[in-house]
Chain A
Amino acid sequence: MLEIRDLVKVYPSGTRAVDGISIDIQRGEFVVLIGLSGSGKSSLLRCINRLVEPTSGRIVFDGADVTRASGPELRRIRRKIGMIFQQFNLVRRTSVLSNTLAGRLGYRTTWRTIVGRPSPEDVIAAFENLGRVGIADKAYARADALSGGQQQRVGIARALMQHPDLMLADEPVASLDPATSHSVMKYLEEINKKDGITVICSLHFLSLARRYGTRVIALKGGTVAFDGKPADIDERRFKEIYGEDAVEVEIGPERSTPQPMSATEAALKALTDTTDTLRP
């Protein structure tokens, strides 16, 4: 579903962040990108939805040429690609619900964004998606009142609003503690398995990559250093990717995640809960 050919990204400073990468990703894969900081993971992910403009090369997503697309066509491609970020990137001053509804922007006209109300279907979908990640009761809280793990789950709910075929995750758990990391990764695993959404996720911990990935791609200096099954990364490969001095560290044990709520149940709870909310 995703075809990357000879992708190169050179920043104005002269850094060759991505240096000739070609990969094919099949529908339903859970691809984990690993590699040192600065190995090109973020740049590669951002080239896929053109948040970063590739210098050369070609990216084809579901038959559409991403690198050639512009204007409305690019936005149509982007709305089928969800993305979550290390710093969550929520609009901190607004409510969790409006942050989630922002995921529908690619389907709405500018005019309706500014003067219109969100459609009832979108509001229901927002509660459904917030319920899936277990935080529908926080719908009216301000985004910055939530903990890091909760904010990342809002990020996932926002991306799910797009009905994406592909989910890009740029170090989604790098700002979270080990237990919360597992909870966020499990939601990504769930949308991958249940909804069949292809996931490309960059991670720092090899243990997480082994636990959640169906395929691991290691980047080194902007090129692919390893591409294969997580189990195939042995001591020698690890040292090739991370350098001779690297030692593998484990991330802590998994913790049970909160049970998802139904949308109506969640909406009721959100409306009756008066602590740190924006609206009744």
Chain B
Amino acid sequence: MAEYFSSRGLPVPPELTRNPLLQWRRLLVVGVSLAVVYLGLMVTNLDFSRANPEHAASVIRELFNWDFRILTPQNEFETWWDTAEGQMVVTILLGVIATAFSLVIALPLSFLGARNVMAGNPITAGIYVVVRLIFTIVRSIDVLIVVIISSVLLGIGSAAGVVGLAFHNVGVLGKLYSEAIEGIDPGPLEAITATGANRLQVIWTAVIPQIVNPYISFTIYRLDANVRLAPILGLVGGGGIGILLFQSINLLQYGAAGLIIFMIVITVAAMDFASAQIRKRLL
């Protein structure tokens, strides 16, 4: 091979002789990865010798020994809403309401957070920076933390869960919406501006038709994510089926806990499937 180049008086390309497995960049990547894993094992002090396989196995067996009493009211003070399926419905609605609240707030804000809409003069460009900064800050506070704070303000229950979820989602949806606006074809904006339309008319005529589908798609994606998040909000006082789940785990009622986990799995899977189908059809 090398003769082809040397016989013509050309330099031999290094690709012909170099062994790619021995390049220092690749060796460095492998070395760093191994070091990180080793360091991780050292620092976290993983100790499997304390595991109790018999107890774990009995708990897992219990989880599948479903306790169907939680599906019906157990005394005269309980209504259908206190049953597991009633709380499941509450949990789903929690996700739905939180998505609706965040949608209403994020929708108008997203225009203020889109670079292409706000470019052009220093004041609007400043608003753009501030809005995007707010989105980032709001998004960086985890849902569970917001729910803990709002449960202090509003008391333990669904209200705290809704507010916590909605707050976090304003940041997520705002960012997704703004980026959808930034990704549109600028051609129609230019053309509509050239007809003598003002900024609002340009947004209404050239921007909105282009963002309807991405907006619906992102909203359904977040709805899906919120319904998936809602069951664990009960852990920190956010209401819904999560309260029931953690109660039964604390009371060692693994049969009830197992059934609740199964119901959550079914709900999330159904949501996931439906959301994927709708989103696929939109794109």
Contact = CB atoms under 8 A, between A and B. Distances in A.
Interface of A: 49, 51, 75-83, 85, 87-94, 102-108, 110, 113-114, 155, 158-159, 161-162, 168
A171 to B, nearest CB: 13
A103 B212 CA distance: 22
B190 interface: yes
Given A105-B195, A105-B196, A162-B196, A90 B201 contact: no
Give the interface size class of chain B.
20 to 34
B196 A106 contact: yes
A150 B32 CA distance: 59
Contact of A89 (B191, B197, B198, B213): B191
Nearest to A94: B209
B188 interface: yes
A155 B187 CA distance: 12
Given A51-B194, A78-B195, 15 more contacts: A49-B194, A75-B198, A76-B196, A79-B196, A82-B195, A88-B187, A91-B188, A93-B209, A102-B197, A102-B205, A103-B195, A110-B200, A113-B197, A114-B200, A158-B191
B209 A78 contact: no
A146 to B, nearest CB: 15
Interface in B166-211: 185, 187-188, 190-198, 200-201, 204-206, 209-210
A75 B196 contact: yes
Contacts of B195: 78-79, 82, 102-106, 158-159, 161-162
Interface of B: 185, 187-188, 190-198, 200-201, 204-206, 209-210, 212-213
A85 B197 contact: no
Listed residue (A94, A103, A105) with the most chain B CB atoms within 10 angstroms of its CB? A105
A99 B190 CA distance: 13
Interface majority SS (helix, strand, loop, mixed), chain B: helix
Majority-rule SS of A interface residues = mixed
Given A91-B206, A105-B205, A113-B204, A83 B197 contact: no
A85 B190 contact: yes
Contacts of B188: 89-92
A105 B204 CA distance: 11
A51 B196 CA distance: 11
Contacts of B196: 75-80, 105-107, 162
Contacts of B185: 92
Nearest to A114: B204
Contacts of B198: 75, 110
B191 A83 contact: yes
Contacts of B192: 91, 102, 105
